[in-house]
Amino acid sequence: MSAPCTMTVQHRSLRSVQSLSLSLAQLIEATASQTPEAERLSKRYLFSTFLMASVGPFSFVKEVLPLPLNSTSPPPRLFDGTTRLYLAYVCPYAQRIWITRNYKGLEEKIELVAIDLRDRPAWYKEIYPENKVPSLEHNSQVKGGSLNLIKFINTHFGGPILLPDDPGKQTFAEELLSYSDYFTKTVFASVLSKEDYISNDAVAALDKLEESLSKFEDGPFFLGQVFSLADIAYAPFVERYLIFLNDMKKYDITKGRPKLTLWIKELNKIEAYTATKRDPQELLTHTKRKFGLA
C-alpha cells in the first residue's frame, strides 16, 4: 500500500474531509445517548480522524488542476451560477487572476476551467468573443482583461484585500498597474529579438522595477510589507523573463538588482503564487515554439 501522506487531494474532497469532522464534544454527547445515530457518529469520527492524519495539514494539500478543454470538449454548464476562471496554465495574464483567486482563498468560489489555446473549443468564442484567456464567468456575464479582473475580484469577493487604504500607496499601485503593459512588452521585445543582448529600453524597464521596489523601505513588496495587486501584475512576467533572458541572452535580470532579487525570494514564499508556477522548461519550450525561436 502506498503511503497515504503522499496523496494529492482536490479542494472539493478536502471540503468533504472537513464536513466529516466532528468535535470530541459532539461525539461524547452522541455516545451518551447510545442510539444507532451515536454509533454512526462514532464511526464517522474515527474515519475523519484517519483521513485528517493521512492528508496532513491542509496547507500542504495541492489542488488537482483540471485538464484543458479542447475542440472536442463540451462546455461546462454555462451560466448556471458558478463563477469560472477560464485560463491556460502557461498564460501569464491568466496567472494574475489565478494568484489573486488563490491569495483570497477563493478556490471553492471560483472554479478553474483550463482552455487548450492550440485547439480551442468553438463554444468559448461564443461566450467570450475575444477568444483569449483569461476571462471570468460571473453573474451570467463573461469579462476579460487581466488587470480589470484582478481589481474586480479584489473588490467583489471576500478574502484579504490586495490594496492598502493608504491613498499614497493606492496611487503608486495604479501607476505600477498602468506601467505593467509597457514593461511586459518592452522586455518581451528583447526576448524575441535576434540580438544576443537585451535592449537599453529593456534594461531601463528592469531598472524601473528595482527603483519602484525601493520606494517603500518597510518591506520587500512594491507597496512595502503587504503583498498587493501590484506584485501580482508583475510576478508572472518577471518569472518568465528571469528564465527566458537567462537561457536566450545569458542575461541575469537579478544581477545588480538586490531589491528585485529579494522580491522574487519573498514571492516564492507565497503559496498562492507558487501553486501557479509551471516548470521553467515547459514555459521555455512553449514560448520558443509559439514564437518560432531557436
CB of 147 to ligand GSH, least distance (A): 6
CB of 283 to ligand GSH, least distance (A): 11
CB of 46 to ligand GSH, least distance (A): 48
CB of 19 to ligand GSH, least distance (A): 36
Residue given cell 525570494 in the structure block = 265
User: CA-based angle 106:107:111, to the nearest 5?
Assistant: 110
CB of 92 to ligand GSH, least distance (A): 6
Task: Pick between residue 154 and residue 254 the one whose CB is nearest to ligand GSH.
Answer: 154
Task: Pick between residue 93 and residue 216 the one whose CB is nearest to ligand GSH.
Answer: 93
CB of 115 to ligand GSH, least distance (A): 8
What does the alpha-carbon distance between residue 287 and residue 244 come to, in Å, rounded to a whole number? 9
What does the alpha-carbon distance between residue 276 and residue 87 come to, in Å, rounded to a whole number? 11
Task: Pick between residue 91 and residue 176 the one whose CB is nearest to ligand GSH.
Answer: 91
Number of residues that bind ligand GSH (CB under 6 A): 11
Binding string, 89-118, against ligand GSH, x = CB under 6 A? --x-x-----------------------x-
237 binding ligand GSH? (CB under 6 A): no
CB of 73 to ligand GSH, least distance (A): 17
Task: Pick between residue 91 and residue 267 the one whose CB is nearest to ligand GSH.
Answer: 91
Contacts with 139 (C-beta within 8 Å, 6 or more apart), sequence order: 83
What does the alpha-carbon distance between residue 227 and residue 233 come to, in Å, rounded to a whole number? 11
Residues 116-175 that bind ligand GSH (CB under 6 A): 117, 131-134, 144-146
CB of 87 to ligand GSH, least distance (A): 9
Task: Pick between residue 215 and residue 278 the one whose CB is nearest to ligand GSH.
Answer: 278
CB atoms within 10 A of CB 158: 9
Task: Pick between residue 147 and residue 275 the one whose CB is nearest to ligand GSH.
Answer: 147
Binding site for ligand GSH (CB under 6 A): 88, 91, 93, 117, 131-134, 144-146
